[in-house]
Amino acid sequence: MKPFKPIETERLILRRWNIGADLTPFARINADPRVMEYFESTLNKKQTLEMLQRMDSRFDQQGFCFCAAELKATKELIGFIGLNIPGYPTPFTPCVEIGWRLAYEHWDLGYATEGALACLKYGWEELNLQEIVSFTSDFNRRSRKVMEKIGMTYNEDDDFEHPMVKEGHPTRSHVLYRIKRP
């Protein structure tokens, strides 16, 4: 397995996590109810640390994971964008998913789309993937719009109940988008 090299776009650097430096800004992002609207709850600093440790471990085990997304111009951490192998069973696993979570003040600026397109290219060229999926709560219109902008397609037959979201929670119902290797 090749070591992960940062992915650069016009405005972003997608890199491995620096837990010491990234914890506080990422915890702020995870504590924002606007950012976490389509999750069961916000995350506190301890939960964010555990998430960062899991992602860092996945880089070591798989060679990739959700990347720290920083602005090239300022080096500010604005969230994550990247590829991941989900660690729970769903009707479509095993798979590689693409995902993103950005600080609220960086929404609607094209960063998710820009970073996701670079991650798709990485998945095709570096990982030789044949398909990449993405999923979200069925009423998360913003993420669904990004999925469509990067060329993913939706089929309602793929809708599923997310196994990591408790039954009865409004975000349990999820949609799945797919894209095949070009």
* CA 180/CA 151 separation, integer angstroms: 9
- pLDDT score recorded for residue 178: 98
Q: Is the pLDDT at 46 greater than 90, yes or no?
A: yes
* Interval 163-167 mean pLDDT: 94
H or E, element range at 25 = helix 19-30
Task: Tell whether the model's pLDDT for residue 83 goes beyond 90.
Answer: yes
Mean pLDDT of the chain: 96
**Helix 19-30, helix 45-62: angle, nearest 10:** 130
> 71-74: long-range contacts at Cβ-Cβ below 8 A with a sequence spacing of 24 or more?
71/11, 71/12, 71/13, 72/8, 72/10, 72/11, 72/12, 72/13, 73/11
- Read off the pLDDT band of 1 (50, 70, 90): confident
Question: Per-residue pLDDT averaged across 140-144, rounded?
Answer: 97
Is residue 182 packed enough to be buried (19+ CB in 10 Å), middle (13-18) or exposed (0-12)?
exposed
pLDDT of 3 reads 86
Alpha carbons within 13 angstroms on the beta-carbon side of residue 180 total 1
The 10s digit of each residue's pLDDT in 147-161 is 999 999 999 999 999
**Whole-number pLDDT of residue 143:** 97
pTM: 0.96
**Which pLDDT score, from 0 to 100, does residue 111 have?**
98
Tokens found for residue 74: 């300022």
Residue 47 scores a pLDDT above 90: yes
pLDDT of residue 2 exceeding 90: no
pLDDT level of residue 64 (50, 70, 90 thresholds): very high
